[in-house]
Amino acid sequence: MGDVLSDRFRFECHKHCSATQARVGTFYTPHGPVETPRFMPVGTLANVKTLTPDQLQATGAQMVLANTYHLHLQPGEDIVARAGGLHRFMQWPGPILTDSGGFQVFSLSEIRSIEESGVSFRSPRDGQIIHLSPEIAIRIQNALGADVIMAFDECPPYPATREAVALATDRTHRWLERCIQAHQRSDQALFGIVQGGTYLDLRQAAARLLVDFDLPGYAIGGVSVGEPPALIEEIVRATTPLLPQDKPRYLMGVGTYREMVQAIAAGIDLFDCVIPTRLARHGNALVQGQRWNLKNNRFREDFTPLDPSCPCYTCRHFTRAYVSHLLRSRELLAYTLLSIHNVTELVRFTQRIRTAILQDCFVSEFEQWLLPNNA
Partner RNA sequence: GCGAGCGUAGCCAAGUGGUUAAGGCAGUGGAUUGUGGUUCCACCAUCGGGGGUUCGAUUCCCCUCGUUCGCC
The rounded distance, in Å, linking the Cα atoms of 44 and 46 is: 6
Could you tell me the smallest distance in angstroms from the CB atom of residue 246 to RNA? 22
Nearer to RNA, 25 or 283 (CB): 283
* Among positions 30, 53, 75, 229, the unique one binding RNA when judged by CB under 7 A: 229
Query: Which residues participate in catalysis according to the annotation?
Result: 99, 272
The rounded distance, in Å, linking the Cα atoms of 302 and 310 is: 17
Could you tell me the smallest distance in angstroms from the CB atom of residue 316 to RNA? 22
- Binding characters for RNA, 252-271, by CB under 7 A (x = yes): xxxxx--x------------
Give yes or no for residue 286 binding RNA (CB under 7 A).
no
Stretch that binds RNA, among 7-15, 53-61, 76-84, 216-224 (CB under 7 A): 216-224
Could you tell me the smallest distance in angstroms from the CB atom of residue 10 to RNA? 23
C-alpha angle 147/143/39, rounded to 5°? Answer: 30
How many CB atoms are located within 10 Å of the residue 58 CB? 16
The footprint of RNA on this chain (CB under 7 A) covers a number of residues equal to 62
Which sign does the torsion angle of CA 258, 261, 266, 270 carry? positive
Nearer to RNA, 88 or 282 (CB): 282
Read off the DSSP letter of residue 44.
-
Could you tell me the smallest distance in angstroms from the CB atom of residue 15 to RNA? 26
The rounded distance, in Å, linking the Cα atoms of 129 and 257 is: 38
Of 265, 256, 268, nearest in space to 220 by CA: 268
Read off the DSSP letter of residue 371.
S
Which sign does the torsion angle of CA 205, 196, 220, 290 carry? negative
24 in Cβ contact with 357 (< 8 Å) = yes
Nearer to RNA, 231 or 238 (CB): 231
Residues 38-97 contacting RNA, CB under 7 A? 42-43, 46-49, 65, 67, 69-70, 74
The rounded distance, in Å, linking the Cα atoms of 172 and 175 is: 5
98 in Cβ contact with 141 (< 8 Å) = yes
The torsion of the CA quartet 222, 225, 227, 231, rounded to 10 degrees, works out to: 30
Could you tell me the smallest distance in angstroms from the CB atom of residue 129 to RNA? 13
* Among positions 60, 95, 196, 283, the unique one binding RNA when judged by CB under 7 A: 283
Nearer to RNA, 15 or 91 (CB): 91
Residues that bind RNA (CB under 7 A): 42-43, 46-49, 65, 67, 69-70, 74, 99-100, 102-104, 106-108, 123-125, 150, 153, 155, 193, 195, 219, 221-225, 229, 252-256, 259, 272-275, 277-279, 281-284, 291, 293, 295-298, 300, 328, 330, 332, 335
